[in-house]
Amino acid sequence: MNKVAVVMGSDSDWPIMQKACLLLEQFGISFEAKVLSAHRTPELMLQFARNAKELGFSVIIAGAGGAAHLPGMLASNTILPVVGVPIKLETLDGLDSLLSIVQMPKGVPVATVAINNATNAALLVISMLAIHNDQLAKAYHNYKDAMANESVAKNANLLF
């Protein structure tokens, strides 16, 4: 079974990044969450990226804010897919985080999702893993169906 790394620049990102973990758990995907700072522990970060595959990880989800270098630097040091979650900080409304993560140069992509949307990062990982996992594909189909049902049910809330 595949394992997912959920890393973040600081524990202040945890309230956002925890949502990725909750969804992975819901789908029965094993994961490890860790604080790993591109700026404060660059060597640990590099080491982790270099060894991630050997450590049994298949994908990395990385959240960071401001001049957010963590997702891109992980991507520079592994061939595993890296999913980036731009975290909104106190200024600029997440725009700096988004651009620092998504605008990667030719050769080193980061799969960027919406600002603060760690749930979508987990879903993206699930879609990747489902390519070779029919049971997961089925679970994802069910998730989508449930989501559709919930959406329809919300009509009951349009009260004057």
Rounded distance between C-alpha atoms, residue 101 and residue 36, angstroms: 16
Closest distance to a copy of itself from the beta carbon of 34 (Å)? 6
Closest distance to a copy of itself from the beta carbon of 17 (Å)? 8
Closest distance to a copy of itself from the beta carbon of 28 (Å)? 16
Closest distance to a copy of itself from the beta carbon of 60 (Å)? 10
Q: Are 138 and 123 in contact (CB under 8 A)?
A: no
Q: In terms of C-beta density within 10 A (0-12 exposed, 13-18 middle, 19 or more buried), how is residue 54 classed?
A: exposed
Rounded distance between C-alpha atoms, residue 23 and residue 95, angstroms: 25
**What is the Cα gyration radius of the chain?**
16
